[in-house]
Amino acid sequence: MRDPDALIARAGVRGDPDRDQHFLVDDRVLDRLPTYLEDLEVDTSHLLEIGGGTGALTDRLLAIADEVTVIERDRTLAAFLEEEFRAEIDAGRLTVIEGDALEVDLPDFTASVSNLPYGVSSEVTFRLLPEGRPLVLMFQQEFAERMVAESGTSEYGRLSVSTQHYADVELVESIPKEAFSPAPAVQSAVIRAEPRDPDYEVDNEEFFLRFVKALFTQRRKTIRNAIRNTAHISRLEAPEAVVEAADDDILQKRADAMAPAEFAALAQVALEVGEPTT
């Protein structure tokens, strides 16, 4: 495997915290990341990596995949990857896409392993989750804990419900700051997401996610008041009709005590009687 420090030296770059660049340099962590996919026995024939950096993780993904696609926004780093991995590119095993992961067309990948740029981790995650592919992603520790949180805990929120709507998610490893160059200000963590269909029905996914977002903006209020107070976010023309139609036990709860299935049932009521606009 290529040495991560040597890759940084060959690239002639330094990580820049102001640009959200922290290169993962701990060989042990780099070696472990692909194994979290292998534990699931999933299809690793075409892996997607977002934020390739200098290619330390790319190198390890190439060891287990037939094909790897890397999306790298930084022009200098993308050019370095093309030079460093010229043999793999010429063999048709690696594709380097220079661009923003929120804007470029995603390939038909089978799974993704990525050390995401933390500044856009939420946006990138919710571009990947609807694809229905296994994911191994690295985040700030606090963000990862919110993704896997259960209802009734302080970490539980919109992120928890939205993530768990798409997949079974687990936090598989915490990563110390010292594993990166330069060291970030916070500890990191790795989550593994295994796609699945939720155990509840959602007729309009876009509205469901918007409704959850709206109610969590008023997480200290009862659901009854949150529905009334957030109609401008959920775009309900008739929030009072939702309150009148909903179960009273649900209306007395707060958002952080609501299980995803309860949100789904309430969203269905809101969809039917609340007159949501698109």
Structure tokens of 178? 């010292």
Rounded Cα distance between 15 and 23, Å, is 6
Rounded Cα distance between 236 and 274, Å, is 5
In sequence order, the 6+-apart residues with CB closer than 8 A to the CB of 105 are none
Q: Interior CA angle at 164 toward 159 and 170, to 5°?
A: 95
Residue with token string 């998610």: 169
**Closest of 73, 69, 36 to residue 51, by C-alpha:** 73
In sequence order, the 6+-apart residues with CB closer than 8 A to the CB of 159 are 122, 143, 146, 147
Structure tokens of 171? 């936090």
Torsion-angle region of 26 (φ positive above 0: left; ψ -120 to 50: alpha; else: beta): beta
Which segments are annotated as binding site for S-adenosyl-L-methionine?
Answer: 22, 24, 51, 72, 100, 115
- The secondary element (H helix, E strand) that includes residue 96 is strand 94-98
**Closest of 86, 9, 97, 14 to residue 48, by C-alpha:** 97
Which segments are annotated as binding site?
Answer: 22, 24, 51, 72, 100, 115
> Which amino acid belongs to residue 25?
V
